Amino acid sequence: MLRKKTFTYFLILVISLCIPYSAFAQRKVQELEEKDTIQLFRGFGISYDLAGTVMRMVSDYGQYEGAVHVNLRDRYFPIVEFGLGDAKHETDAVTGIAAKVRAPYGRIGCDFNIAKNKHDAYRVMVGARYALTSFKTEAWGNIKDPYWEHYNPYEVTTKKCFFHWVELVFSVDARLVGPVRIGWSFRYRRKIGSSNIGEGNNLWYVPGYGKSGNVLGGTFNIGYQFWRKNKTKKQ
């Protein structure tokens, strides 16, 4: 009986001594897990916006847009986007004019991966962009004078307009198969400034921005991820 009691007390003592050490070890594990040992440059990726191409196919405007981003610690993604905005409206039934714009544009910015596990195959990102473009609008038609009643050729090439804006971006991105990734982004745009808009302050179409008055946008990207190869040190 006494032996059994002594053993019980001994066991309790051992357990009570072990508890603080195991708690300490757990804390150490957590600290080590939190420490980010991953390399700064993880690779880079390229992507293409399918939404812009589909838009151009189904409507009178759209864009052909690609992007290159750099992966820093799986958390920060500096990005450069560049594209060709294209809009062509055939002769309008009401106004009787046609118009077109075709010009390049560019954006530069950074995305921040807000996913809890930044190394995950899925990325949830927020970011911002600064964008700019310079373009001319061409319009043409044959307009009937309402008073003199004869038709007059209508041909306009506007002055070169410089337009720049900022975008707030929310995007989701996932690995589709192997290094191929797919994702989408929603964007809120805010014009910073422009030149040579003319009276009325109206612009029909701005490459990369869309139609005038449209502050929402989005992309649907398919991309390819190039990972940095890890060098193994020989000991």
Partner 1 sequence: MVKGIKSKQELGVRSEELGVNSSTSEAAKPITSFLIPHSSFLILFAIVAVITSCSSIDCKLNGSVYCRYQLKDQYLNDVAFAYPLTVTLCDTDSGDIVVINNESNASAIDLPMSHGNATDVLKFTITVTDTIVGEDTVYYVTTPHTDIIRITKTNEPYFESIDCAPRYNHTIEAVQSSHNFIDSLVINNKKVTNDASKENIYIFLNSGN
Find the binding residues for partner 1 in span 14-43 (CB under 8 A).
25, 29, 32-33, 37-38
**Residue 170 binds to partner 1 (criterion: CB under 8 A):** no
Question: Which H or E run includes 7?
Answer: helix 2-34
| Interactions with partner 1, residue window 184-223 (CB under 8 A) | 184, 186, 198-200, 202-204, 210-220
Cβ proximity to partner 1, 4 vs 235, nearer residue: 235
Dist CA 176 CA 224 (whole Å): 10
CB of 110 to partner 1, least distance (A): 21
Dist CA 61 CA 89 (whole Å): 8
**Residue 120 binds to partner 1 (criterion: CB under 8 A):** yes
Chain center to CA of 151: 47
CB of 47 to partner 1, least distance (A): 14
| Interactions with partner 1, residue window 75-114 (CB under 8 A) | 89, 92, 94-99
CA nearest neighbour of 54 among 70, 65, 69, 43 = 65
CB of 182 to partner 1, least distance (A): 6
CA nearest neighbour of 210 among 86, 93, 107, 92 = 86
Of 143, 162, 164, 194, the one binding partner 1 by CB under 8 A: 143
| Token pair 């958390």: residue | 75
